[in-house]
Amino acid sequence: MILRRQAGTETQPPRWRPLAARLLTVLAALLVLTALVAPDTVTDLTPAAFVRLPVEALAGVAVLLVLPARARRPVAAVGGAVLGLLTILKILDLGFSAVLARPFDPVLDWALLDDGLGFLGSSTGPAGQVAAVVGAAVVTIGLLVLVTLAVVRLARVTVGHPRPATRVLAALTPVWVACAVLGAQLVPGVPVASASAAIAAGQRAVQLPASMLDQQAFTAALTTDPFRGVPADQLLTALRGKDVVLAFVESYGRSALERPELAGPVTAALDTGSAQLASAGFSARSGFLTSPVAGGSSWLAHATLLSGMRVANQARHDALMASDRLTLVSAFAMASWRTAAVMPGTTGEWPEARFYGHQHVYDFPALGYRGPDLGWASVPDQYTMSAFERMEHAQPDRPPLFAEIALASSHAPWPLIPPVIGWDQVGDGSVFRTFATGEPRDAVWAKGTDAVHSAYSRSIAYSLGTLTSWVQNSGDDDLVLIVLGDHQAAPLIIGPDAGHDVPISIITRDRDVLDRIGGWGWEDGLRPSPQAPVWPMEDFRDRFFTTFGPGPAPEAH
């Protein structure tokens, strides 16, 4: 009897197994539903986005019910793997939309992942960098495996219960069609009938050929330059004898002037700067340019402004670097200006300098900074301008100077926002140790949205205050300073749908320079109004050449 009971007990499954199986099925369904309906932009990431009926689920059930038995499992596994890949791409899209205000391009953007990892390491240290790599690998592999297994499990359940599955399919299909036709929405802007995964798959399918065609068109356009044939002695004739300084202010975008939660410190700095410049005999005119990028990739904005071509991705940048396109820098060099680049964020080789036409490059090591090490944006802007003044602008008996300066203090995560101090106090930068807080480099992010907004706007105000102070202290009758933003800040900072416009100003004492740009329609002062003209950033080079020189060569090709 005992043996019989033991034998009978061994043939019965434990009571918890059916419950565990049902729970696993429910979890698999939730995972697949999330993968199908999850949005790919941060602005759409709301609870309502997940209360939708995905057409891909209905189509998948229909396909499984009509397939031969031996084909069902392989098809489910392939479908699960594809859905897993799309889910990973959605996560990348979410990240790119939050930081760069655009989706991830699987053809062109892999290099940016490495750049982002390098910036993370400089902001959080090696431990944070390693943790990010390990976490990304675990999430990637885990999602791919789990989504595939979840689809396979749901397929097995579906074909194991064909009659209920058919009834559910027959009931939900007309519901989906009706919702799609009527545009039904439980929450405004979120349709109940979802086809987001199918649409994403279609977009990915056409992205490669579209990117290739775009690249071919850009490369072909590089062969046509209306200023290539202009003789050197006819270039920039109206600026002869002038020192022209082109200063990019990191993340200085239109939102810094117009969003109420950001604008206070920035507009105050601009208004104060305008008054101080006027008292020193300087005047300014300002407008807007539309940058090809937002949130990051500053070098693409620099390339766009200097080359007169819209350089919106790394492939275009690489093609430009291999061309013989005339740049603002090379034009000044051809016309006998001394050309220099001041790049405090550059720590290694910078091969682009030769293409642009820079004769001298002052990168981070060359600047001789001895202040606190605070990561990527370690050099305060006032030290950058002080070093430039000492090593270039104040040098006696030099030819006219053209300098490109990339100011970095307004680069997130703003580890140091010092006050503008006396220029005789700057020295080797060690004075800035007194302003270091000792907090982690990225501490501001843990303090909430208000702290992030405050740090961003104060950093922009610091950069602008530094420039106007430098003009007051070191400017003369021969100075022409061009100040502009490279791109808008990340959507995480300024919000979604902010656009790509950045302010630009020209500052000088020379009335003739300002009269020449009178036809541009730019407004007086450092602060352009919302009605100020807006140009594509790639248009600036040609307008600048035409305004201060004879115009394109008639025979240019």
What is the tens place of the pLDDT at every residue in 308-355?
A: 999 998 889 999 999 999 999 999 999 999 999 999 988 888 989 999
CB 149 within 8 A of CB 80: yes
pLDDT at 378: 81
Domain residues of the chain, as ranges? 2-212, 230-403+438-548
Q: Tens of pLDDT along 43-53?
A: 777 777 777 77
pLDDT at 12: 64
Structure-block tokens of residue 253: 């975008």
pLDDT at 510: 94
Beta bridge partners of 191: 185
User: CA 512 to CA 287: how far, in whole Å?
Assistant: 19
- 209-213, 371-375, 400-404, 435-439 — which one is most confidently predicted on average? 400-404
- When pLDDT is cut at 50, 70 and 90, the band that residue 557 belongs to is very low
- 73-82, 175-184, 441-450, 519-528 — which one is most confidently predicted on average? 519-528
Q: What is the mean pLDDT of residues 10-23?
A: 69
- When pLDDT is cut at 50, 70 and 90, the band that residue 556 belongs to is very low
Q: Tens of pLDDT along 260-278?
A: 999 999 999 999 999 999 9
- When pLDDT is cut at 50, 70 and 90, the band that residue 7 belongs to is very low
pLDDT at 205: 60
pLDDT at residue 27 is higher than 60? yes
pLDDT at 471: 96
pLDDT at residue 187 is higher than 80? no
Beta-strand relationship, 193-194 and 479-485: unpaired
Tell me the average pLDDT of the chain.
85
pLDDT at 197: 61
CB 368 within 8 A of CB 390: no
CB 492 within 8 A of CB 296: no
pLDDT at 142: 85
Q: What is the mean pLDDT of residues 137-164?
A: 84
Q: What is the mean pLDDT of residues 187-216?
A: 67
Return the H-helix or E-strand segment holding 535.
Answer: strand 534-536
pLDDT at residue 165 is higher than 60? yes
pLDDT at residue 465 is higher than 50? yes
Q: Is 185 helix (H, G, I), strand (E, B) or coil?
A: strand
Task: Kindly give the residue spans of alpha helices, DSSP state H, lying in 252-380.
Answer: 255-258, 260-279, 298-307, 314-321, 328-334, 352-356, 364-367
Structure-block tokens of residue 152: 């396979």
pLDDT at residue 555 is higher than 60? no
pLDDT at residue 230 is higher than 70? yes
pLDDT at 85: 86
pLDDT at residue 502 is higher than 90? yes
Q: Is 25 helix (H, G, I), strand (E, B) or coil?
A: helix
User: CA 217 to CA 496: how far, in whole Å?
Assistant: 30
pLDDT at residue 247 is higher than 50? yes
DSSP annotation of 14: P
Please choose, from the candidates 45, 57, 265, 4, the residue with its C-alpha nearest in 3D space to the C-alpha of residue 168: 57
pTM across the whole model: 0.81
- 113-117, 346-350, 376-380, 477-481 — which one is most confidently predicted on average? 477-481
CB 496 within 8 A of CB 292: no
- When pLDDT is cut at 50, 70 and 90, the band that residue 250 belongs to is very high
User: CA 531 to CA 527: how far, in whole Å?
Assistant: 11
| Residue 218: Cβ within 10 Å count | 18
Q: What is the mean pLDDT of residues 58-86?
A: 83
pLDDT at 418: 92
* Cα atoms in the Cβ-side hemisphere of radius 13 Å centred on 82: 15
pLDDT at residue 204 is higher than 70? no
Beta-strand relationship, 283-290 and 534-536: parallel
DSSP annotation of 418: P
Q: Is 170 helix (H, G, I), strand (E, B) or coil?
A: helix
User: CA 266 to CA 238: how far, in whole Å?
Assistant: 32
Burial call 342-376: b when 16+ CB within 10 Å, e when fewer: bbbbbeeeeebbebbbbeebbbbeebebebbebbb
Structurally, what CATH architecture does the domain formed by 230-403+438-548 represent?
A: 3-Layer(aba) Sandwich (3.40)
pLDDT at 53: 74
- When pLDDT is cut at 50, 70 and 90, the band that residue 293 belongs to is very high
- When pLDDT is cut at 50, 70 and 90, the band that residue 544 belongs to is very high
CB 161 within 8 A of CB 53: no
pLDDT at 270: 95
